[in-house]
Amino acid sequence: MHDCSKTKEDLTDLVFNEMGAEDELRLLEEMEACRDCRAEYHSMREALGAFDTAAPEMIPAGEFWTHHHARMRERLVDAAGAQPRDELPFWRRPLRASFSIPVPVAVAAAILLAATSLLAIRSFILRPEVGREQANAAAEKIQYVEVPVERRVVEERVVTRTVYINRRARRGNQAAPSLQDIPGMTASRKEDASITAPQVTLSGFQPPADVKLTVIKGNLNEK
Amino acid sequence: MVVTFGTKGNFLVIDGEGYLIERAREGDREAFCMLARRFERRVYSLALFYTRNQSDAEDLSQEVWLKVYRHLQSFRGESSFYTWLRQITVNTFLNHRRSALKQVGGESQGLRLVEIESVDYEDALRLSRGRDMEDDLHRKMLVERVGEALSELTPQQRLIFMLKHSEGMTYEEISAVLNCSTGTIKKSLFRAVQKLRQHLGLKSESRSYLRCAAGGK
């Protein structure tokens, strides 16, 4: 069923050639059946025709374009500078060269440059203070404290003393020590000694290399 | 002189545009001026209908050509030269509009097209000697009415109307260039046609716009 309001909505597409072939045919058929829609369509076409008639009249002619050209030339000369680009010496061309880069890349580069500069400036400003503080803190921390350290010192002493086996016997009130009590005496020697006790001598006595001699100071009679 | 050749239908077409572009890219200012001469009226027309002011249109179109001259190196020939030029033109208009809104905060001041026409009215009368004076008068009145109708549209609506009706761009192309929806374009076109009809006195029943525009005779 024909709907005038819907058809009139589509007329804009029709007069501006934005309608597909099938839709255009359908709309034209509908307009054939509806006088109002047809009149609306013709009215729109006439308005556009009137514009087409009027538009060229609005555009200036003659002298205007001569002046327009002259002004354009002047501006181009100004834009190119006092010395035209193609007449520049080769060593000055790089100074006037330009190139275009995408905006995101330019923004990223600018942000990176700004951040790097900021960090560099910040570290440059803060470094002397930090160094000073660290030096003071270090000076405060370093204290020379004398701590006694125990260290084993091996004292070597050569003891030269003659031991008399029958010393106590010589004193007379004490029994003479048996050879079994003497450290470093070998078992065979001990046996020999027990057999021939009265003839005990130190001849042939050879102390082992790791003999530790404990010297006990004091009087045996104090027991 | 070197020219480029191409075929269009069954005819050999001599097209110096490519040569002029190459020369202009190499810094030949004369070649650029010759190139500009080919399109200057179209650029100026767009600027004039966009601004409704001859002085602003002159400044805008000069700015367009300066931009084209500076950025000619970036033209890679992926589209026609005029398509590329038109994109620069529209961008220049939009930038101009933004800066104008910042400065003035509203509609730009200046002469309207109808006032320009009224200034030239006496000249038009003199020029029309030997012709049909009545037709000329009707035409001048028609221009005034059209100017009035356009003045009731926003700059963007006028630009959309021009891009569609005069430049033959599709809805999609205009949408991409102006970054607006297809619905906005359709509404702008509808409004432009309605304003023209209103100021030209075109009712649905009427068929003679010239007489209506000339005073409803």
Per-residue pLDDT reduced to its tens digit, B137-166: 888 888 889 999 999 999 999 999 999 999
More confident residue, A153 or B191: B191
Whether the per-residue pLDDT at A186 is higher than 70: the answer is: no
pLDDT at A5: 85
Positions of E strands within chain B? 4-8, 11-15
pLDDT at B209: 44
- Structure tokens given for A123: 């570290």
- In our burial notation (b when 16+ CB lie closer than 10 A, e otherwise), range A111-123 reads eeeeeeeeeeeee
For residue A86, what are the CA distances in angstroms to A75, A81, B17, B26, B120? Answer: 17, 11, 21, 8, 43
Contact B40, B57 (CB under 8 A): no
Residues 61-90 of A with CB under 8 A from B: 65, 68-69, 71-73, 75-77, 79-80, 84-86
Q: How far apart are CA B58 and CA B54, in angstroms?
A: 6
Enumerate long-range contacts of B75-79, CB under 8 Å, 24 or more apart.
B75/B21, B75/B25, B77/B18, B77/B21
Residues 45-74 of B with CB under 8 A from A: 45, 48-49, 54, 58, 61-62, 65-66, 69-70, 74
Residue-averaged pLDDT of chain A:
75
Quick count: other Cβ atoms within 10 Å of Cβ A165? Answer: 16
Whether the per-residue pLDDT at A188 is higher than 70: the answer is: no
pLDDT at A173: 53
How are the residues of chain A apportioned to helix, strand and coil, as percentages rounded to the nearest 5?
60, 0, 40
- Structure tokens given for A69: 């050209």
pLDDT at A3: 82
Reported ipTM: the value is: 0.74
pLDDT at A156: 63
Q: Mean pLDDT check: name the lowest of A6-10, A45-49, A150-154, A208-212.
A: A208-212
pLDDT at B107: 47
Mean pLDDT, rounded, for A14-39: 90
- Closest CB from B33, B113, B196 relative to A51: B196
State how far residue A128 is from chain B, nearest Cα, in angstroms: 48
pLDDT at B163: 95
pLDDT at A183: 55
Q: How far apart are CA A28 and CA B206, in angstroms?
A: 20
Question: For residue A77, what pLDDT band results from cuts at 50, 70 and 90?
Answer: confident
User: Which residues does residue B14 pair with via DSSP β-bridges, in sequence order?
Assistant: B5
User: For the residues of A50-94, what is the DSSP string, one character each?
Assistant: HHHHHHHHHS--THHHHHHHHHHHHHHHHHH-SS-GGGS-TTTHH
- Closest CB from B54, B146, B170 relative to A50: B146
Considering only CB atoms, which chain A residues are within 8 Å of B33? 69, 72-73, 76
A51 touches chain B (CB under 8 A): yes
User: For the residues of A5-19, what is the DSSP string, one character each?
Assistant: HHHHHHHHHHHTT-S
Question: Which residue does chain B place closest to A9, by CA atoms?
Answer: B190
pLDDT at B63: 93
Q: For chain B (length 217 residues), average pLDDT per consecutive 10?
A: 43 64 86 90 93 90 92 88 93 84 53 46 56 77 90 92 93 92 93 91 57 43
Whether the per-residue pLDDT at A123 is higher than 50: the answer is: yes
A60 touches chain B (CB under 8 A): yes
- Structure tokens given for A63: 């002298």
Question: Which residue does chain B place closest to A40, by CA atoms?
Answer: B204
Quick count: other Cβ atoms within 10 Å of Cβ B50? Answer: 25
Closest CA to B56 of B17, B25, B88, B100: B100
Question: Do you know the residue count of chain A?
Answer: 223
Cβ pair B190:A12 closer than 8 A: yes
**Which of B209, B210, B211, B212 is most worth mutating to test chain A (most A CB atoms within 10 A of its CB)?**
B209
pLDDT at B121: 53
| Eight-class DSSP state of A176 | P
Whether the per-residue pLDDT at A214 is higher than 70: the answer is: no
Mean pLDDT, rounded, for A59-87: 78
Mean pLDDT, rounded, for A147-158: 69
Question: Which residue does chain A place closest to B113, by CA atoms?
Answer: A58
Considering only CB atoms, which chain B residues are within 8 Å of A43? 197, 202-204, 206
Mean pLDDT, rounded, for A77-96: 66
pLDDT at B211: 45
B44 touches chain A (CB under 8 A): yes
Residues 6 or more apart whose CB falls under 8 angstroms from that of A211 comprise: A183, A184
**Model pTM score:** 0.57
Cβ pair B113:A58 closer than 8 A: yes
Phi, psi values for residue B33, rounded to 5° = -65, -35
Q: Three-state SS for B131?
A: coil
Cβ pair A50:B142 closer than 8 A: yes
Residues 6 or more apart whose CB falls under 8 angstroms from that of B136 comprise: B124, B125, B128
pLDDT at A139: 73
pLDDT at B191: 93
Give the count of alpha carbons within 13 A of B164, CB side only.
Answer: 31
pLDDT at A129: 64
